[in-house]
A and B are shown apart, each in its own frame.
Chain A
Amino acid sequence: GDSVTQMEGPVTLSEEAFLTINCTYTATGYPSLFWYVQYPGEGLQLLLKATKADDKGSNKGFEATYRKETTSFHLEKGSVQVSDSAVYFCALILTGGYQKVTFGIGTKLQVIP
């Protein structure tokens, strides 16, 4: 079946450090890929998405590129802030038909001043 594997946390970084959270996927079809973020005490929010190979999703300084050859969608940010502290979930949905969203286990990021 479809699955998403992402690096386990927690990840602790100093402010202004570079962030990478790895995500790889297995899909029976052709998926759209997402990163969702969950800030403390809040619901899941879509951070960015990419719907086809080589697309780059970006938002709030975060980026991720859809790499079909490596089945990956790694999340990056050049300079993290304390306000980026949250749990980040990689997810996929197969395009077409009746499909569910499949999530990774989440990676907790803590940014310290």
Chain B
Amino acid sequence: GAGVSQTPSNKVTEKGKYVELRCDPISGHTALYWYRQSLGQGPEFLIYFQGTGAADDSGLPNDRFFAVRPEGSVSTLKIQRTERGDSAVYLCASRGQGSTEAFFGQGTRLTVV
């Protein structure tokens, strides 16, 4: 596609439930990032994929968070046993090989009630 696509755009879930957030990067982009943005804050790094593998997952806050990118394109961020503190906008970005510019999606607004 023309840009980074994230679905759903909004997700409301109950505390304790499991959620999956999807990211479709720009076609051909090898690098893919997940960030979390809380109200009034800058994007906080979660995980970075280069191809299919997680090159850096140091930003995942705990083991309830997990992300995959099985074919090196689409990625899914998975959150187990959601907590109210997980409420935020989850951003995905992709970057082409040899480029320094990351392109961001519109984000998924997750609300845990």
| Contact surface of A with B, Cβ cutoff 8 Å | 32, 34, 36, 42-46, 49, 51, 89, 93, 95, 98-106
| Contact surface of B with A, Cβ cutoff 8 Å | 31, 33, 35, 40-45, 48, 50, 55-56, 59, 91, 93, 100-107
Residues of B within 8 A of A99 (CB): 48
**Complex Cα distance A45/B105, Å?**
9
The A interface is mostly helix, strand or loop, or mixed, namely: strand
- CB–CB B93/A101 < 8 A: yes
CB-CB nearest in chain A for B53: A98
**Complex Cα distance A42/B109, Å?**
12
**Looking at the complex, which one of A43, A51, A102 makes contact with B100 (CB distance below 8 Å)?**
A51
A-B contact pairs, 22 of them (CB 8 A): A32-B100, A34-B101, A42-B106, A43-B91, A43-B106, A44-B91, A49-B100, A49-B101, A89-B42, A93-B100, A95-B100, A98-B50, A98-B55, A99-B48, A101-B33, A101-B43, A101-B93, A102-B45, A103-B43, A103-B44, A106-B40, A106-B42
